Structure 1
């Protein structure tokens, strides 16, 4: 028998069922979406376990971007299908998530970036995404903070936008519970028992639940959860931070989710009369630290000074820090473990988990039910990293794998 343990992070009083047909580990937006899609499909005995509270990890981000502007067909299709679900969230499953079709605007600093995005826009248009290349003047009209002389062009899609991740998690979970799913919070999984490669049970400080199916949606902690069952999930935690200006004296105009491709600096309305600012800090080391630090604002201000000078000295009122769950090629892991049948996983989204959550809920539902999904998720299997170095995996990302790494770097921005 294989048995592994993890640190106990706290308990609560609600009882656990003695057995469940499906145990979902992780109460973020991916776990919530999967619980909803399974329960909606009539799957009984669905139990979601969350070590803290729902959306306590990366899904607790105040505002999450949603888009279909990717460079490869697989991620474009996931993004587009998810966008359709986010727009219809008020009807299904039924909750207000503050969805705003503000659009996405990628700022392009040279001809090489322009050529890359022209190729991406062509792929998006072929799949029904209404993105297009704009000139500097039109980009500045969409985002008045922009210095048009600092870019050669921009890529814009008006149907992209942003929503509230916490509200989405709550909406999914409430709908899942209405359909018969069970949710237990403050209930960390401390061990997963297997016998002869078959799942037998999950253990928690509140008791043991016998099950033959586990779905890992543990985000940055997924490698630890996978190891409990003897499954390798190459996920690394990486802190990402955002900051808020607070209400500004002159309220900002409504602008797209604006990103500088060169630096990864981005900004957009915060819904409260100010702006949200963010950037991938190249100096950030992997780890589980989630404290907010203003140090990353220095490279943000430097980048903003080149593209949107008015933002370079804009004061910051407060901030937020969370964890990206990164993989060697910055593509998600979705599939079923090769050596542990019915250990399913949906993790490693490298910053795209929220925007892809509705479609991923469908995909994992169909994987569990063993029915044909709306697209082939074979390229997202964790086994793509078996027996080869991470750099080799990344280098192949544009050749038959989803293509968000290596040859298609624009997908790493958010």
Structure 2
């Protein structure tokens, strides 16, 4: 092959008798695509490669390949490296020279025992697919190496970073492996640990400053969550029935104190006392004056396997102010065929309510008060029933919001029942079935 220096594409897919790829292949300067998929007898690859023009290299289902070549020079053009379902037992630390790599796919490499830390320093890597790598147990680091830290201005601005995914679902994931790995994932935005055998989510997850979505669905041995990253917005723990009550309480507290979290789901039927019981109705009403307060609503629903039948559902919050309707917020709940609820679950949603300018212009207040109604609609037009609601104050004047019709006579001392003091809350709870719990979160200096 050294006699073909201008070769750009070499596709040898499904060459069942191919045993060896000659070293000369590793030095073709103009080679862009090297595909050896389904070469099931292939055992010998070049000892090293330096392919400056290479864009794609794929060895999918090369089930007898055990060693991957050393990278002998910086490769800036490579975008995709696929090693799915091979017998490779280790990757060289020099894989860090694949500086152009965008997607690394190593799923179902069950003989792969360790990952070099240089993978997580690749500047353009957006996706690492390592699901079903059941042998992973170690991170190979250079002597004295410690994970890099993010600049302080980036820690609080994760949304400006590249969208990066790491999929480690269906892996064993020992505690020591995860505790070492997570600090290297500070640029990652999505991590999937679904169907893995983890028992403890280490506190080193706090180092994942950019992490916004973490799923641990069907991790049936997961007992303890020791922390959550600062910018997390979505956390799924469907069917994680071994979670301790302390971990569940921590998730609730994080939802209440961290206004950035939008979605948490985990097994359970017990709802804290400060989530007041209310009848299962299709709408939640309240009255406000001056302007619609900026509220964050946390909907708590006890969900069973029969509550959701579709594998992908879209939900819309409809906000109706004095009969003027607006679809205010859309969110999605998705899962696979095997990811159905085995037991009751609690779903926490944090939704910001902001009416459109057009709606504000059409609002007609009566006696200074406007009636607002909130509905949660499933795709197809079916309205979901509210279970329990927690409303967190967020820079609003509490006397300007009521959860009972201001025209209802409550007694001489409490003609206007607001939620700004304990006695008002007690009266509200006694006089209406649509009870809510209002808690003020004081901002620290």
**One fold, TM greater than 0.5?**
no
Decide which structure has the larger Cα Rg and report it.
2
TM-score range, shorter chain: under 0.3
Q: Whose strand fraction is larger, Structure 1's or Structure 2's?
A: 2
Give TM-score, length-normalised by structure 2.
Answer: 0.18
More helix by share: 1
Q: Normalising by structure 1, report the TM-score.
A: 0.19
